């Protein structure tokens, strides 16, 4: 089942084309890693796909009415904003806004359990550490229980256990029939935990495929200016960036 399809999605900011001609699809069961250097258009792609940004071309999500879209896709922005110190459980419950009150408590409890936040549920959200706040906000997006989750650098700044835990939660969502598009800078985690990778370079989608097929020496040199070691081990694929090129 297709959860998102993008046709020639483009975004211009003044004279500058920040995203051009992106064609892609997301199907149920996928965890798609969205890669690219800073400023390559990852956030712009996700926001335009949701219809939060004026864009050319089309996105299946952007065409939906707001409430229906909120049930079809959850969005986890990169800026981790928590304006008020409400209890963590109340913060997570904000994810239930597009739905009625029915089943809200159960969904909040599931999301808290997934992110291991049960013990913090009554704490004020602004009193948490940065990493705990990030997990609470991920739980908020999970509580929305939309088939598709778009997450913008959700694991930046998390400890290794939380990073792996978060990628595993995404894999579970995909296994349960959903899909996740997650923008990442950690190519190693992307290689291990994503079923597919999209690589953005200067606003264009330059690669779309399985991690092994995408993370080639040529692409790494062209897009990231690095070389890396990629090996298939008994523990799964291992990817380690090694050095900058041209030095």
Partner 1 sequence: MRYGALLILLGGLVAALFVASLLLGASSLGPRESLVALFSGDGAAGVVMREIRLPRALLGVLVGGALGLSGAAMQGYLRNPLAEPGLIGTSGSAALGAVLAIHTGAYAAFALALPLAALAGAGLAVALITLLAGREGRALRLILAGIAVSALAGSLTALVLNLAPSPFAAAEIVFWLMGSLADRSMLHVALAAPFAAAGALVLLRQGRGLDALTLGEDAAASLGVSLRRLRLGVVLGSAALVGAATAVAGAVGFVGLVVPHLLRRAVGAQPSRLMPAAMLGGAAMLLAADIATRLIAPERDLKLGVLTALVGAPFFLQMIRRMGREGA
Give the tokens for residue 198.
């999209």
Q: How far is the CB of 168 from partner 1 (least distance, A)?
A: 23
Entry field: residues in the chain: 247
CB of 90 to partner 1, least distance (A): 6
- Residue 126 beta carbon to partner 1: minimum distance, rounded to whole angstroms: 8
Q: How far is CA 229 from CA 119, 222, 241, in A?
A: 40, 16, 6
Cβ partners under 8 Å of residue 160, min gap 6: none
Rounded to the nearest whole angstrom, what is the least distance from the CB of residue 88 to partner 1 in the complex? Answer: 11
Judged by CB under 8 A, does residue 55 bind partner 1?
no
Residue 46 parent element (H or E): helix 42-50
With respect to partner 1, which residue has the nearer C-beta, 44 or 190?
Answer: 44
Of 32, 115, 128, 137, the residue at the interface with partner 1 (CB under 8 A) is 137
**77 touching partner 1, by CB under 8 A:** yes
Encoding tokens for residue 170?
A: 């995404």
Q: Does 90 bind partner 1 (CB under 8 A)?
A: yes
Q: Rounded to whole angstroms, how far apart are CA atoms 40 and 35? A: 9
* Nearer Cβ to partner 1 (81/232): 81
| 124 is an interface residue for partner 1 by CB under 8 A | yes
Q: Which of 29, 56, 98, 188 is the binder for partner 1 (CB under 8 A)?
A: 98
Name the helix (H) or strand (E) containing 34.
Answer: strand 31-35
Report the distance separating Cα 6 and Cα 171, nearest Å.
22
Q: How far apart are CA 139 and CA 167, in angstroms?
A: 13
Interaction site with partner 1 (CB under 8 A): 47, 50, 52, 66-67, 69-70, 73-77, 79, 81-87, 90-91, 94-95, 97-98, 124, 137, 140, 144
């Amino acid at each position: 089942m297709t959860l998102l399809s993008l046709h020639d999605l483009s975004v211009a900011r003044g004279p500058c084309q920040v995203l051009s001609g992106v064609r892609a699809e997301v199907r149920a069961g996928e965890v798609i890693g969205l890669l690219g250097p800073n400023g390559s258009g990852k956030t712009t792609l996700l926001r335009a796909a949701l219809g939060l940004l004026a864009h050319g071309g089309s996105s299946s999500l952007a065409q939906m009415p707001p409430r229906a879209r909120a049930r079809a896709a959850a969005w986890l922005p990169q800026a981790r904003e928590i304006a008020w110190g409400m209890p963590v459980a109340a913060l997570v419950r904000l994810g239930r806004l597009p739905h009625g009150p029915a089943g809200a408590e159960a969904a909040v409890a599931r999301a808290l359990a997934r992110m291991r936040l049960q013990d913090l549920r009554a704490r004020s959200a602004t009193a948490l550490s940065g990493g705990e706040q990030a997990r609470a906000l991920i739980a908020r997006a999970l509580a929305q229980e939309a088939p598709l989750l778009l997450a913008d650098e959700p694991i930046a700044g998390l400890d290794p256990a939380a990073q792996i835990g978060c990628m595993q939660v995404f894999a579970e969502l995909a296994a349960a029939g959903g899909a996740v598009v997650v923008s990442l800078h950690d190519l190693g985690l992307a290689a291990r935990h994503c079923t597919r990778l999209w690589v953005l370079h200067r606003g264009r989608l330059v690669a779309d495929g399985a991690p092994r097929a995408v993370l080639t020496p040529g692409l790494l040199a062209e897009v990231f200016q690095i070389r890396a070691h990629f090996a298939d081990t008994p523990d799964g694929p291992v990817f380690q960036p090694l050095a900058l090129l041209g030095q």
